[in-house]
């Protein structure tokens, strides 16, 4: 299999490249390094089946050539992280919507399989936890920039599924739930890298909001394994799949867990959302996936649980 990974120098994309290469596939990466890092793929540069291009999906001649050479496109390139989304809503919307549109347009010319990486954010303020793929998407008002990311990724999904329905372009949508692990940066507001770095440096561990909001975290290795299996399963085409872990933890308890595992003496402090992000910032109280659909199709079960994930992330930052 010849795979193209847009955003392949990012956190998830680089782990996916690792996995596909170990499976004997040919991997091409396209990344403009806006949120990815060349360090994430530096160890792959000498691999005879690995190729990378530093450019944007918006460079259509470059993208068109790479898509033509691929059998499957993993479209991971996107604006990521709550901090970036709040501070740069125009960039978020344009990057996500336009990037996906261009990928689908060029993939459709040769009917290349496309897997769109979406997000649990699309469920918005829905309170019917755990979220199933057919649940309603409940977003906040357009005046709250926080929802721009969720809306843009929902449009990506609508567009991809429209290409399947109308043009018979084979597409798969994977909704990722808080993917974490080594190589993830805290630069854009990712909670576990930030907690770990604060704990290891003895700085206060900053919990945004009151800390009662809950999340479920999925190890990146489990996620990329699921992505690789989905594109090999014809019955996945035209469908949406949650990719996550059902174990739920409050952010306050997560901070305590990080502090304990890191052997840290850091104080845990709470910061109101208005101060952390912007006035009137809205968040969802819970975000937990129903993974029945993906389990039934490919036997997906998350193998790495939270404490092991945290230990891996702590070890990663200790060596940096």
Residues annotated as catalytic (active site), given as ranges? 149
CB 81 within 8 A of CB 145: no
Tokens 């850091």 — which residue?
266
d(CA 63, CA 56): 8
Omega within 30 of 0 (cis) for the link into 178: no
The three-class DSSP label of residue 27 is strand
Please tell me the distance from the alpha carbon of residue 187 to that of residue 35, in angstroms, as a whole number.
9
CA-wise closest residue to 274 among 123, 140, 144, 115? 144
C-alpha to C-alpha distances, 80 to 76, 102, 124, 270, 275, nearest whole angstrom: 10, 19, 16, 23, 20
Element (H, E) at 117: strand 113-119
CA 131 to chain centre: 17
Name the one residue in this structure whose structure tokens are 């010849």. Answer: 2
């Amino acid at each position: 299999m010849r795979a193209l990974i847009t955003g392949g120098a990012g956190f998830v994309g680089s782990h996916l490249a690792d996995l596909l290469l170990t499976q004997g596939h040919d991997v091409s990466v396209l990344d403009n390094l806006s949120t990815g890092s060349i360090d994430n793929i530096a160890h792959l540069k000498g691999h005879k089946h690995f190729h990378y291009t530093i450019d944007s999906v918006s460079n259509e001649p470059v993208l068109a050539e790479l898509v033509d050479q691929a059998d499957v496109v993993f479209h991971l390139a996107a604006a990521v992280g709550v901090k970036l989304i709040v501070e740069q809503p125009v960039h978020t919307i344009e990057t996500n919507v336009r990037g996906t549109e261009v990928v689908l347009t060029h993939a459709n010319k040769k009917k290349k399989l496309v897997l769109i990486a979406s997000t649990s954010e699309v469920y918005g303020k829905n309170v019917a936890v755990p979220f199933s793929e057919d649940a309603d998407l409940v977003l906040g008002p357009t005046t709250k920039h926080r929802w721009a990311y969720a809306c843009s990724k929902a449009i990506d999904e609508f567009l991809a599924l429209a290409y399947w329905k109308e043009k018979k372009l084979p597409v798969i949508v994977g909704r990722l739930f808080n993917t974490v692990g080594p190589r993830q940066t805290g630069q854009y507001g990712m909670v576990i890298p930030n907690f770990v770095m604060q704990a290891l440096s003895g700085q206060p561990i900053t919990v945004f909001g009151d800390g009662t909001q809950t999340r479920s975290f999925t190890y990146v290795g489990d996620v990329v394994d699921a992505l690789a299996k989905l594109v090999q399963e014809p019955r996945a085409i035209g469908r949406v799949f949650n990719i996550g872990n059902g174990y739920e933890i409050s952010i306050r308890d997560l901070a305590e867990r990080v502090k304990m595992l890191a052997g840290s003496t850091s104080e845990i402090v709470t910061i109101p959302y208005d101060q952390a992000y912007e006035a009137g910032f809205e968040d969802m109280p819970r975000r937990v996936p129903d993974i029945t659909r993906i389990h039934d199709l490919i036997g997906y079960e998350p193998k790495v649980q939270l404490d092991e994930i945290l230990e891996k992330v702590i070890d990663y930052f200790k060596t940096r």
